[in-house]
Amino acid sequence: MNYVRGVVESNNSVFKEQDLRYDYGHDAFVLLVEGEHVLPKEIAMQIKSGASYCTPTTCKIPASGSQLVFWAGHDLDTLGVVHDPNEGIAYWVDLKVEAQIRVRGQREQSGAVIEFPKMPWNRFDARMFREFLVPTLQGKAPLIDLATALEWARSDQLDTHDLGVRILSSRHWREQATWDCMFELFLGREAARTTPRVGIEFAKAMGHPDDASPRSEWPERLRERVRQRVVAFGKDEIVKLLHHVEDLERGGIGYGLMSVLAARPDCSTIFDAIRGDPNIDEITRAKAAGILRHDEYEPLRLWHWPKDGQ
């Protein structure tokens, strides 16, 4: 409790320990403060400490059925925080989300053990509280620096990798290093080890018609360099992109990737080659065939780069 209090108060936020007489599933409440501004945001916490709740790579929080129902339906976001005495560090998990997953569709809810990994982004320390938790709990992009975001994006752990890519795309998209990392990940990894967000970022660079917030402040020549590299994608790269395509309905990943999938004037030839290649798995070949059928009523040439009058 003292460790968590110290982290919260070091960031000027207000820590309010719950009286044990009224502890029904929350050990403390935190009123968030950003800089000198008190935010209209309060969160609840369930706090555990001890070696029995930790392994070198994970933490766990046991919960009764009634606690899961309580957290799932509570108005406040609830974080579970586990302090590892061997490390002297705590880690957090979103208990409200975890509880909602477990009680959804259940008439009678039994207890559960909520186990979660120790990751760089869910460390409960002064820096991550300020740079990650406070903005995230407001629905904002984390205030993570470029070097850290690049490190996370290159992680082999998919959640951390996806998070790093999202931070790069939201906070550091003007940096050449961001795009070097995006291409490095896309070209160097198997499709299953890469978040589809990498392809979506390429689509934004190409000028997707559904992008509600086009990036109008691209550094000189950066966008052109990104586009030229995407236009150079061949059969192997298109196969990787097709891994993430489920359908071509508006709003889906497939539709979002169309400005990349169809970036080349000869894209139909590439899809035809994929469709007929027996060395490519049947699911991918079927996706290529589906895109060619789609071409009959929404021609792929309409997606060709350049766009936006450039």
The residue behind tokens 């719950």 is 18
What pLDDT is attached to residue 131? Answer: 95
Q: Is the pLDDT of residue 105 over 90?
A: no
Distance CA 39, CA 17 (A): 19
Distance CA 233, CA 206 (A): 13
Q: Is the pLDDT of residue 213 over 70?
A: no
Q: How far is Cα of residue 164 from the mean position of the Cα atoms in its chain?
A: 7
Secondary structure E strands in the chain? 14-17, 28-34, 37-49, 58-63, 78-84, 89-94, 112-117, 123-124
Q: Select the CATH number that applies to the domain covering 2-125 from these four: 3.40.50, 1.10.730, 3.40.1350, 3.30.499.
A: 3.40.1350
Q: Where in the sequence of the chain do the CATH 3.40.1350 domains occur?
A: 2-125
- pTM to 2 decimal places: 0.87
Distance CA 209, CA 308 (A): 9
Distance CA 205, CA 227 (A): 6
pLDDT tens-digit series, residues 177-206: 999 999 999 999 999 999 999 999 999 888
Distance CA 114, CA 184 (A): 35
pLDDT tens-digit series, residues 18-33: 877 666 789 999 999 9
Distance CA 211, CA 308 (A): 12
Q: Tell me the sheet residues that pair with 93.
A: 80
What pLDDT is attached to residue 274? Answer: 96
β-pairing verdict for 112-117 and 58-63: antiparallel
Is the dihedral angle over the CA atoms 271, 276, 280, 284 positive or is it negative? positive
> Which amino acid, residue 215?
R
pLDDT, the chain, mean:
90
Distance CA 172, CA 175 (A): 6
Distance CA 18, CA 82 (A): 17
CB atoms within 10 A of CB 310: 9
What pLDDT is attached to residue 44? Answer: 96
What pLDDT is attached to residue 214? Answer: 52
Q: Is the pLDDT of residue 101 over 70?
A: yes
Q: Is the pLDDT of residue 235 over 70?
A: yes
pLDDT tens-digit series, residues 43-71: 999 999 999 999 999 999 999 999 999 99
Q: How confident is the model at residue 310 (pLDDT cuts 50, 70, 90)?
A: very low
Q: What region does 102 belong to: left with phi over 0, alpha with psi -120 to 50, or beta?
A: alpha
| Contact call for residues 149 and 169 (beta carbons, < 8 A) | no
Closest CA to 216 of 205, 227, 226, 225: 205
Q: Is the pLDDT of residue 109 over 90?
A: no
Q: What region does 9 belong to: left with phi over 0, alpha with psi -120 to 50, or beta?
A: alpha
Q: Tell me the mean pLDDT in the region 206-228.
A: 74
What pLDDT is attached to residue 249? Answer: 78
